[in-house]
Amino acid sequence: MADETATATDEGPAVASDDRREALLAVFSDHLGDAVVGSHLKPGKALWIRVATAAWAEAALVARDKAGLKWFDFLSAIDWLPSPYGRYEDSSVDVPFPPPMPERSAAVPGYAGGDSRIQVLASVAQAGTDLRVLLKADVPDDDPRVPTWVRAYSGAAWHEREAHEMFGIGFDGNVDLRHIYLPSEFEGHPLRKEFPLLARVVKPWPGIVDVEPMPGEEPAPEGADETGGDA
């Protein structure tokens, strides 16, 4: 298990220790053992814990029943792969389609590490306190599915539906993974990095070109360039 500690940052001086969050980390380590595969503790601020994919559902039960984290905040996912389209708003020309996908090694996970391009994330807390834990687990690249959290936190059901719809993640045990936002026949998963924003592929970002004049300004004359000179 990788256990990292905080250092001084622009946010202020580092806190030397944090007994309460260290105790929370110990609860997960005691009950999950080697299934705790990574952690990051910022004393006085936050705790991240990464667990093995197979232990994702068990981690929820430990959080609720052993760590006293009974308040469910959210469950979601993140795709760490850089966008093959770059930053649309930085583009002054049409984006090539389809673009080459970045190498899998380009995916750089956040706190507590990771071995997959996509991870599930869930935040749970002790009600009435400032203690909160962000749990995370790898989603296998070749079989993007993890166990459901609905047995521990019933409120996770809708969050899992959204993650299934937007990232294509299966949640074993959740029997109601219907779409929330998109038509049921919609193809693709819009929050995966390879999903194109087609309006930006066809036409560059409108903040870069076709700029409308501000109120009170005269529009540029026909044939003038962006600086006001003749084209």
DSSP 8-state code for residue 86:
-
- Encoding tokens for residue 151? 């047995």
Residue of 32, 37, 67, 64 lying closest to 50 (CA atoms): 37
pTM for the model stands at 0.78
Look at residue 209 and tell me whether its pLDDT is greater than 60.
no
What pLDDT score does 226 carry? Answer: 45
Q: Looking at this protein, which amino acid is placed at residue 12?
A: G
Polymer length in residues for the chain: 231
CATH number at residue 193: 3.30.460.80
> To the nearest whole percent, how much of the chain has pLDDT over 70?
74
Look at residue 103 and tell me whether its pLDDT is greater than 90.
no
Cis peptide before 82 (omega within 30 of 0): no
Residue 173 belongs to a domain: yes
What pLDDT score does 227 carry? Answer: 40
Residue 45 belongs to a domain: yes
What pLDDT score does 199 carry? Answer: 66
Residue 54 belongs to a domain: yes
Look at residue 228 and tell me whether its pLDDT is greater than 50.
no
Residue 220 belongs to a domain: no
DSSP 8-state code for residue 152:
T
For residue range 55-101, list pLDDT tens digits in order: 999 999 999 999 999 999 999 999 998 887 776 666 555 566 677 77
Look at residue 115 and tell me whether its pLDDT is greater than 90.
yes
Q: Which domain holds residue 112?
A: 2-199
Q: Is 78 helix (H, G, I), strand (E, B) or coil?
A: strand
Residue 211 belongs to a domain: no
Residue 231 belongs to a domain: no
What pLDDT score does 5 carry? Answer: 43
Residue 20 belongs to a domain: yes
Total domains present in the chain? 1
Look at residue 184 and tell me whether its pLDDT is greater than 90.
no
Q: Whole-angstrom distance between the N-terminal and C-terminal Cα of the chain?
A: 62
Distance CA 71, CA 47 (A): 16
Residue 210 belongs to a domain: no
Q: Which residue has the tokens 């389809």?
A: 98
Highest mean pLDDT among 2-11, 152-161, 199-208: 152-161
